[in-house]
Amino acid sequence: MEKPLAGLRVLELARILAGPWAGQLLADLGADVIKVERKGAGDDTRGWGPPFVEGKDGKHIGSAYFHAANRGKRSIELDFESDEGRRIVRKLAAKSDVLIENFKVGGLAKFGLDYKSLKDECPRLIYCSVTGFGQDGPYAKRAGYDLMAQGMAGLMDLTGTPDGEPTRIGIPVSDIFTGVYSTVGILAALQAREKSGKGCYVDTALVDSTVGVLSNQALNYLVSGNIPKRIGNAHANIVPYQVFPTADGYAIVATGNDSQYVKFCNVLGAPELAQNPEYKDNVGRMKHREVVIGKLSELTARMKRDDLLAKLEAQGVPAGPINNLEQVFNDPQVVHRGMKLELPSDAAKAGKIPGVRTPIVFDGWRAASENPAPLLGQHTDDILKEIGEA
């Protein structure tokens, strides 16, 4: 099938993660993403290792981090500080549908590459700015990073054990969610352009995006006025829905309704816990959380993990293991869905570079570019020829 975004050109003036993540997502969906990188240096994350992908010449061809966010793009080296470099970027912008940048607020104005400077000569351009705090407000001019966003937006205060320190999520979720929201905004703007014929300005921010995904916890606070507390792996609104000890490790049991709770109790050989009127519904179980979880944990701790999971699956009770990443990429479901990529690369010593595809399937086509992340400046000559500069 023709890829959904085939024919769309994206100019990426972004580095690190949030902006490049949006660019990679668009590239996976078929867009031609041209990544403009600083001459001689490139995206900062090219050096964020180890680990690095080893090249055929014994030198590395970029960190694993860089390859995680730049699949399927073309790279051109340019110097923003020079008149020639700025002229080329403006010419590329005029031939693009979308521009993504993540400079500090006003950072591109001095180069004449901000939205205000480009919108008249590029009236159909969708211009997406990704920052820490957005284009306005008291913090707008501050630099923003994922860890700061997780802390300032309340996510860390919700994560961790009650007696432990606030904890960041194990991946840069503020960056990633901002990249995803940026993509949603870009696609919506492209649809609006079909009607109006005009481009627009898309403003996304790490803190906004992190506040935006607080979901049930945000509403728990806004409705009740009570500040949620850290409760480890338990659920703020459902009991039992958490990690339980087993005789040889841990298992997740995620009951979503009273019927599943009854089945869970029956699997544990404790139907009386389901029949107790104080625990018969979720409201009661929430009220008596510590007692209920204590009793259930005593019973799960007597069973081996895989035996417990098999019995729960047989009864239709949602449950699962806690996998490390080796187990994840060997899991039959993950393998079947083709989440791990092996992209051919002439530059890599192994002849290929691994990746993780965009988790979208169109009519059986699993969204992912066939090309790995580019070498620094790999496509400079080709891109210049395409715009009549060579």
Give the Cα separation of 193 and 200 in Å (integer): 8
- Contact (Cβ atoms closer than 8 angstroms) between residue 202 and residue 127: yes
Chain-centroid distance, C-alpha 138: 27
Give the Cα separation of 64 and 53 in Å (integer): 6
Instruction: Please name the residues in contact with 37: beta carbons below 8 A apart, sequence gap of 6 or more.
Output: 15, 43, 75, 76, 77, 78, 376, 377
- Contact (Cβ atoms closer than 8 angstroms) between residue 134 and residue 208: yes
- Contact (Cβ atoms closer than 8 angstroms) between residue 128 and residue 200: no
Instruction: Please name the residues in contact with 195: beta carbons below 8 A apart, sequence gap of 6 or more.
Output: none
Reduce the DSSP state of residue 190 to 3 states and report it.
Answer: helix
| Residue in 177, 184, 166 with CA at minimum distance from that of residue 211 | 177
Give the Cα separation of 331 and 323 in Å (integer): 9
Q: Where is 282: in which H helix or E strand?
A: helix 282-287
Q: Of 175, 208, 258, 363, which one is the catalytic site residue?
A: 175
For 12, 68, 178, 289, 322, the CA distances from 184, given in Å and listed in that order, are 16, 20, 10, 39, 31
Reduce the DSSP state of residue 128 to 3 states and report it.
Answer: strand
Half-sphere exposure (Cβ direction) of 262: Cα atoms closer than 13 Å: 8
Does the annotation count 258 as an active-site position?
A: no
| Residues tagged active-site | 175
